[in-house]
Amino acid sequence: AQSVSQHNHHVILSEAASLELGCNYSYGGTVNLFWYVQYPGQHLQLLLKYFSGDPLVKGIKGFEAEFIKSKFSFNLRKPSVQWSDTAEYFCAATPSGGYNKLIFGAGTRLAVHP
Amino acid sequence: EAGVTQFPSHSVIEKGQTVTLRCDPISGHDNLYWYRRVMGKEIKFLLHFVKESKQDESGMPNNRFLAERTGGTYSTLKVQPAELEDSGVYFCASSPRKGSYEQYFGPGTRLTVT
């Protein structure tokens, strides 16, 4: 069965620290991969997405993610976090080629302290 | 451009009662999705409409849940009768028929069944 795993449920960082959130997916075919973010009191919004091409994708607010096919991974990174990055982050996957359901990971709550 | 809207934002009902959630997708988006997040767990897919037709309803928990999308515009999700385990946040998302595969999420409806 298709699944997405996020390695950390809670992460606490100080401002300016580097961030890496792990995501692994389980699917035999070609997938589209996404990171969504939910800031406190706001709705889910897309940070970045990978469909094909360059495995290093850049998103909004200085986030990037790297698709490593051999590891079935799509980790999210940011070199220097800010207090405003405090949010919950969701990795998601969907099979390529259709407008299919998203399979989400359990989410990672990030708290950034000033 | 207006985003995806959901109504109500929060609903508290007693076990055995009926609740109807509404989702208005972004105008012109043929695809409409319902998801649910039970507290502390991952966001799970419920069903997918393409216009007024149910494309995939494999995530619907049981026959107490009924989704409709008459006319291919807004959608309703009715829970009848509600049970305690139905509590959670219900998200709606939409995406265009042709485009980037990105799903645009609404703010969610928090359902509490007591």
pLDDT digits (tens, 9 = 90+) for A50-103: 988 999 999 999 999 999 999 999 999 999 999 999 999 999 998 876 668 899
Q: Report, as an integer, the average pLDDT of A6-18.
A: 95
**B73: which 2 tokens?**
């515009």
- Tell which residue, A66, A72, A57, A92, has the closest CA to residue A27: A72
**A46: which 2 tokens?**
């897309």
Residues of B with CB under 8 A from a CB of A: 3-4, 31, 33, 35, 41-45, 48, 50, 55-56, 59, 91, 93, 95, 97, 100-108
Q: Is B101 close to A49, i.e. CB distance below 8 A?
A: yes
pLDDT band at A45 (very low <50, low <70, confident <90, very high): very high
Mutation target vs A (from B36, B37, B41, B42; most A CBs, 10 A cutoff): B42
Q: Report, as an integer, the average pLDDT of A28-51.
A: 92
Q: Report, as an integer, the average pLDDT of A9-28.
A: 94
Q: Are B90 and B34 contacting, i.e. CB atoms less than 8 angstroms apart?
A: yes
SS3 A71: helix
The nearest CA of chain B is from the CA of A72 a distance in Å of: 19
Which pLDDT belongs to residue A100? 80
SS3 A36: strand
Type of residue at A94 = T
Q: A90 CB contacts (<8 Å, ≥6 apart)?
A: A6, A35, A36, A37, A38, A44, A104, A105, A107, A108, B43
- Tell which residue, A80, A91, A78, has the closest CA to residue A36: A91
**B114: which 2 tokens?**
């007591």
SS3 A20: strand
Q: Report, as an integer, the average pLDDT of B66-93.
A: 96
Range from A90-99, B20-29, B94-103 that averages highest in pLDDT? B20-29
